[in-house]
Structures are given as structure tokens and as C-alpha cells.
Amino acid sequence: QVQLVESGGGLVSPGGSLRLSCAASGRTPSRYAMGWFRQAPGKEREFVAAIGWSAGSSYADSVKGRFTISRDSTKNTMYLQMNSLRPDDTAVYYCAAAPTMLVVRTRPDAWGQGTEVTVSS
């Protein structure tokens, strides 16, 4: 099975930036989509961004133009560059993996345990 571990979260001021990382270990299929989700206090977990093995990507409307998803296949690591952060970006961010971008957005095969992002002045 694939194990996913997120890192890079922390406290940042509004307008600031953070880069989250998701490292995959164990069995890592060569053609696997990965994505980011987040869960804010008192809210349901929501989709943030996804990237396929072919480098195609998609984003939630709330983060378009501010967040960028990428991956380094040689390191089995996915990244989420978050710029222009706002207080409503505060959440626990989770990475996920699945065979396709469609599946990763709906029913991921594997989840990380999350990294907390707090945007506050």
C-alpha cells in the first residue's frame, strides 16, 4: 500500500505563502494521480487541487490563481504552493492518491494524516 505523509504547514499572516509537501512511500504505482484536500474548523473536507501522472492539473475555484500543485516523480513527492493566503484558507490539509484525477477527487485510495495551516494576523 501507499503511505502518504504531509508536511510544511504552520502559522502564516494573511497575504503570506506556504509550500506543503506530500511524500509517498511503500508501493507507489508509476501512473497515479495525487491531490490535496482541506478541512476547515466546523466544515466538511473539500477538494483543493489535483495533478495527474501526465502533469494535468485542476483546482477548486476558491484557490485558482493563488495555489499551484506540482509533483516530482523521481522523489515521489507532491507539492502545493500556496500564495496570497487568506484566513479562510485555514484548515488541515490532506494529500491523497488514486489511479486517475477523477477518482482522486471523489474516492482516493490513500490519505495522509494532514498538516495544519493557520492564516491569521
Q: Tell me the mean pLDDT in the region 66-81.
A: 92
Q: Per residue in 46-68, pLDDT tens?
A: 999 999 877 689 999 999 999 99
pLDDT confidence tier of residue 45, bands split at 50, 70 and 90: very high
Side-chain half-sphere CA neighbours of 89 within 13 A: 31
Determine the Cα–Cα distance for residues 27 and 49; give it in Å rounded to an integer: 23
